[in-house]
Amino acid sequence: MLTPSQLLLLAQIGRYGSLAQAAEALGRTPSAVTSQLSKMEKGVGISLVLRGPRGARLTPVGASLARSGEVIAAEVANAEATVESLLVTLTSELRVGTFRAAGQHLLPPALTALRHRNKQVKLSVFEIASPNGAEMVARGELDIALIAGYEESFPAVAGVRAHHLLDDFTIFCLPSDHPAVAISAREGGLRLRDVKDEAWIAISSGHPARQQLDDAAESVGFTPNVVMETASYHVAQALVGTGIGIALLSRLTSYPTAGAIHVPLLEPPLKRTIFALTADENVSALAHNMLTLLRRNSKELQEKWLEQDPGVDFSEELGSIL
């Protein structure tokens, strides 16, 4: 007597034309599949699969039975989709923490898409400091935390899993009439040593971004002449627009600023890394969906950055993502 699993096996053999690939698709060993096929053929009393050096193909009888297997596979897929939909509906609350730049550029498109898929979702969004994200996820206060770090990988935290979203490269913000703008247009960007004698508008001391600037400057032999410190990237860019100095900032924080332009930093290459943090187990379907949307948005933004012509105001492209 034929079973659903046997019919599914025939459907997979017909799809892949290979016993080994059918076994892999079903999560079974090739020997187990071969044994099941032999038992099936013995039971029906006729050959169902023709084996050859180039793979395997179904006999007419095997192909007829495989069509029933395809129907079963489709029904299983429909059932799985139904379960996922029910889980999303039942698990309708999502708590998201985000640092400011991600809250401006990465999160809104994902939230819009999630609300479109599930209009009953109850969303709570909190602005957080990146260093607090892991602890808040570990304590169960957040389902997802968007954080920025200056390490290549996220340090291990018990109960927390880090998902890489985006490499947020460091760029220059210059007054639009600065002589270095012409150099950047000619060479595709600037090196840090090219502007070592400039006045700097820097992020406040103690912030990782400020440490990044100080360490990079030291590596090429100078100490920045800081004429203004601020905790705000928006303030830094606004002041650059007045012409009193230049700044380094992450690309995600750039925005259209009167009197300022953003250009690539060629050497040394600097970046920060954007992660989404979740619990390491028992993650809700809703959180999984949000993570998928965040990855898609991040990929689209990264591709736009890679295509961007040097010397163009990077912030203009962020608006097209939103």
Residues 188 and 286 in one domain: yes
Choose the final residue of a domain: 74, 89, 104: 89
Answer whether residue 226 shows pLDDT above 90: yes
Residues 121 and 258 in one domain: yes
Q: Which residues contact 243 (CB under 8 A, 6 or more apart)?
A: 175, 177, 178, 259
237, 257 contact by CB (below 8 A)? yes
Answer whether residue 164 shows pLDDT above 90: yes
Q: Which of 36-50, 76-90, 110-124, 221-235 shows the highest mean pLDDT?
A: 221-235
145, 133 contact by CB (below 8 A)? yes
Residues 208 and 153 in one domain: yes
Lowest-pLDDT choice from 6-10, 238-242, 267-271: 6-10
Q: Which residues contact 116 (CB under 8 A, 6 or more apart)?
A: none
| pLDDT top residue among 12 and 218 | 218
Residues 71 and 192 in one domain: no
115, 123 contact by CB (below 8 A)? yes
CA dist 194 and 15 (Å) reads 59
Rounded average pLDDT over 299-318: 62
Residues 210 and 231 in one domain: yes
CA dist 276 and 98 (Å) reads 9
Residues 79 and 103 in one domain: no
Q: Which residues contact 143 (CB under 8 A, 6 or more apart)?
A: 94, 95, 96, 137, 278, 279, 283, 284, 286, 287, 290
Residues 149 and 272 in one domain: yes
Residues 100 and 85 in one domain: no
Domain count, the chain: 2
Residues 139 and 200 in one domain: yes
48-83 pLDDT, tens digit per residue, is 888 888 888 888 888 888 888 888 888 888 888 877
Residues 27 and 110 in one domain: no
Residue 190 bridge partners (DSSP)? 265
252-281 pLDDT, tens digit per residue, is 999 899 999 999 999 999 999 999 999 998
CA dist 183 and 175 (Å) reads 13
Choose the final residue of a domain: 26, 54, 89: 89
Residues 257 and 280 in one domain: yes
Answer whether residue 313 shows pLDDT above 70: no
Residue 247 bridge partners (DSSP)? 173
CA dist 299 and 111 (Å) reads 16
Residues 114 and 258 in one domain: yes
Pairing of strands 160-175, 247-250: antiparallel
Lowest-pLDDT choice from 31-45, 103-117, 258-272: 31-45
> Closest Cα partner for 319 from 294, 301, 295?
301
Choose the final residue of a domain: 52, 67, 89: 89
What are the backbone dihedrals phi and psi of residue 232, each rounded to the nearest 5 degrees, phi first?
-115, 125
Q: What is the CATH number of the domain that holds 40?
A: 1.10.10.10
State the residue range of the domain holding 212.
96-322
Give me 278's structure tokens.
Answer: 């979740």
Q: What is the CATH number of the domain that holds 101?
A: 3.40.190.290
Kindly report whether the global pTM for this prediction surpasses the value 0.85. no
